[in-house]
Structure formats: structure tokens, C-alpha cells
Amino acid sequence: MREDRAINQQLHSIGETEKQNLSPVNQSILKIWGPSRLQGNINISGAKNSALPAMAATLLSSGVCRLRQIPRLADINTMGKVLSALGAKIKQNGNTLDIDASNLDNPEAPYELVRKLRASFFAIGPILARLGVARVPLPGGCAIGARPVDLHVRGLQALGAEVHIEHGMVNAYISGSKKKLQGAKIYLDYPSVGATETLMMAATLAEGETIIENAAQEPEVEDLANLCIAMGANIFGAGTKTIVISGVPKLHSVDYTIIPDRIEAGTFLIAGAITNSEITISPVVPKHLSAVISKLQSVGVEIIQEKFDSLRILPGEILKSTDIDTQPYPGFPTDMQAPFMALLSVCSGSSSVTETVFENRMRHVSELNRMGANIRVKGNHAIVQGVPKLSAAPVIGTDLRASAALILAALAAEGETTFQGLQHLNRGYEEIEIKLQKLGAKLQRVDQVKENEISPASV
């Protein structure tokens, strides 16, 4: 009964939760006292980057879709608001969302929301496939690069949509009385995760067969395909470079659990490595972390797979340098570049880090240097000269993963780090403070107004 009441909470209550939880965060800072020694087990949340497209995919169905293991994050709240604005009804119960898009009636996503969350643009595929028309604002650039949507648009055109971009709005519609997209062969110039997801979702309801070549192979793409398959779609080859989708007339209800977050998992593995600690993380899909595990082993830490879904990290004697080159999956993930650079900053010797996916993803470097790191950047290439230790400093996170890098550095640094940028962290790490505190880290969220009342003794 209690559960029913909770389930019956409308998503507008997510919006309210966001107001309550996030407004203070914007004014709050995190104080971290290092160096820390961590210990214990950490529960990894569901993957943000699976949850967001999964929420968009529910627009394809006229039944109620239940999604489980959805992390409670600011980005999820924003996506929920986008779906609500389109006419979907959403109920939240802890990490479970029930989404009913049977009354999907508004084809236009609000600019104020899309601007905040690029991934909400991915809803253009399902909206168009369901309603025959979609109007979604261009998401614009973001802290890590320009991030165009040309591949999404060209793919939708290949599927038969008319697409016009005017006044910052992408207007897409399907002409003809049937309002059906037509299967097509699409080659992506770059294996964009978002474009693969947009087009795969759109093609599930198209007439005929769609082949996406040079598709993104990320685990989140495969997870989205598995969700759509569970809803009745015909999709083959997701997780490889070629995805074949055979359109069906409609998709049905589903009860689906999304995969664990490999980026959160990787971040906690680095937390273990940078603090010379032994910690266990679960649930994880170890295969999804192959590139990160391999680089962690190169720097000298030991990683043991304990069960099929858990990993234990053991401290290495000396941390050694290694080189990182970000690549689409199964290469080293761009989302782990900044966190890993924090670790390399205390590895002996010289490491090279090359960012190939985004053009402006080195903004954490100047802040890491303020903490005593020795990193030189030229374009998208950084040389990290390892230092014996970092020293705490006031730092500012510029984006989600840059913020994670600074938190990791602060765990290893001597003294009190003051971190500004909780609004970024809350976009991608569920309960990060609670999880770190559980491992023994000394940190405290501080309302800046009350700052004078806080001292390390209160931690």
C-alpha cells in the first residue's frame, strides 16, 4: 500500500525534489580532508547514459514501461521533465520509473530543458517515429565541446524525414498519409553514441529494414537495443559496428533493468588506486571496464574479479606512469580521461594523455595543477609529470567528469580542499558524498553561508 502511494507520486514531484535538492547544492561547496585511506564495499548505481536514452525509448511504446535501477540524478530529473512536457506520465518509486507515453501528444521539447541536457535531444527519434512530427531545439555547445547533431539529422533524413533547422529549432516531419519512416542504409561518419541511439530508436517503428554502419559499440547502445527488443523491436548486432533493425508496427510495455554505470565504477576504482586502498565495487559488468582495468594494471594496481559482477582493487607498491588515448568503445572512454589524469598526476614518471573524442576536454588540468600536479597541455594532448604528492586547494569543477577528477585528487591531497561544482557532480554520481563517506573519506557539504561553523572536527 505504502509502495503504491510512492509509485503514485507524479514526476512533477521529481521536479520539486530537484528544486529542493539542487538549489541549495548550487550554493554549496564540498570540503574534503585528505589524504584518505578508503576501505569497504560500494554499490554501483545504474548507468546514467543508459537511463537517459531508455527514458526516451519509452516514448516509442503506447503501454506503460517500468525502468529499474534508474539513478537519482539531476539529469534524470531534467529528462523526466522533458517527457512530461511531451505528454508522458511518469511515476517514481526510488530507483524505479513507470513511464506511460500512451497520451504522447506534444511533439515539441522545451528549449529551457534541452539546453540543460543534451541527451534530451535524442528523444527526437522516438517522437518522430510515434507522432510523425518532432520539434526539438538544437542543444547547443557545452563545456567539453561544440557537439553538433548533424549525424542525427542526416540519419533521420535518410529514414525519409523532412528536416529543417530554423531559429535554433530542428523541425522534423514525415510526409505522406502513413506517417511512417522508411528503412534505409545509414553510414555514420563517426560512431556517435547519441546518433546511433536516436536512429536505432527511430528505425524500430519504420517500414522495412534499416542498417546502421559504423555504429557506436558502447554498452549503453547495446542496453538500449535490449530494452527495445524487450518492447518488441527487431534489432540485431547492437554492440557491434553494424546494427540491423527490422521495423515493427508498434512496441509494447516492458519491465527492464538497466546496466550498472561503468563510469561510476571506474571512478571508484581510481579512488581506490589514488588513495592506496582496498575497496570492492559491485554490481559491475567487468567486460565493460576492460580498457580502464588494463590501464589501472599498467600503473601497478591489482584488480581481482571476485564474483561475476564484483571487482576488488588492491593497492600497488609504486604507481607508475602510463599513456592514455581516448577512443570510442572498446577503447579507453573519454568520460574516464579526467578522472584517470588525476591518478596519473601522482604516478612516478611521465604519462601522455590524448583526448580524441571531444575538442575541449582538458579544463581540469589547470585545477589539478593548482593542487600541485605538473601537467602541460597542448591542444588535446597533455603530458603529466608525476609528483610525489598533491596538496589541497580551493578548486572549481567545470563539468561532470572534470569535477570527479578534482574529488579524486582531493582524496589523495594533503589538507583541506574546497570544491565548488556540486551541481555538475549531481548530474552523474548518485549519492557520491554518502558513498565516499561510507568508504571512510572525510568530506562535508557546506552551505557557504554557514561556512564559519564547520571545522574538520565536525566531519
Catalytic residues: 142
Tell me if 336 contacts ligand UD1 by CB under 6 A. Answer: no
Alpha carbons 398 and 383: distance in angstroms, whole number: 20
Residue of 25, 60, 149, 159 interacting with ligand UD1 (CB under 6 A): 149
Question: Which distant-in-sequence residues (6+ apart) come within 8 Å of 125 by Cβ?
Answer: 56, 152, 156, 197, 198, 199, 200, 201, 202
| CB crowding 106-130: b at 16 or more within 10 Å, else e | ebebbeebbbbbbbbbbbbbbbbbb
**Cβ neighbours around 241 below 10 Å, total:** 14
Within positions 342 to 401, which residues make up the interface with ligand UD1, using CB under 6 A? 357-358
Does position 322 bind ligand UD1 by CB under 6 A? Answer: no
The distance of closest approach from Cβ of residue 401 to ligand UD1 in the complex, given in angstroms and rounded to an integer, is 8
Dihedral sign (CA 384, 358, 264, 225): negative
- Per-residue string for binding with ligand UD1, 396-425, x by CB under 6 A? ------------------------------
Number of residues that bind ligand UD1 (CB under 6 A): 22
User: Does 324 sit near ligand UD1 (CB under 6 A)?
Assistant: no
Minimum Å gap between C-beta 123 and ligand UD1 is 12
**CA dihedral sign of residues 398, 404, 407, 411:** negative
Residue 262 or 370: the one with the smaller Cβ distance to ligand UD1 is 262
Sheet strand arrangement including 209-213? 185-187, 209-213, 242-246, 234-236
The strand order across the sheet containing 96-100 reads 89-93, 96-100, 64-68, 254-257
- As measured in angstroms, the least distance from the Cβ of 357 to ligand UD1 is 5
> Among residues 58 and 192, whose Cβ is nearest to ligand UD1?
192
Torsion of Cα atoms, 319 then 323 then 327 then 333, to 10°: 20
Nearest residue to 30 via CA among 440, 436, 457, 358:
436
Residues 151-180 binding ligand UD1 (CB under 6 A) are 151-152
Candidates 83, 104, 123, 193; binder of ligand UD1 (CB under 6 A) is 193
Q: Which residue is nearest to ligand UD1 (CB)?
A: 194
Using the rule CB under 6 A, give the single segment among 142-150, 222-230, 300-308, 370-378 that binds ligand UD1: 142-150
Residue 194 binds to ligand UD1 (criterion: CB under 6 A): yes
- Establish if 337 lies at the interface with ligand UD1 (CB under 6 A): no
141 binds ligand UD1 (CB under 6 A): no
Residue (of 108, 101, 98, 150) closest to 128 by Cα position: 108
Q: Measured from the CB of residue 143, what is the shortest distance to ligand UD1 in angstroms?
A: 12
Site for ligand UD1 in 49-78 (CB under 6 A): 49, 52
CA–CA gap between residue 314 and residue 294 (Å, rounded): 14
| Chain positions contacting ligand UD1, by CB under 6 A | 49, 52, 118-119, 145, 147-152, 190, 192-195, 216, 220, 334-335, 357-358
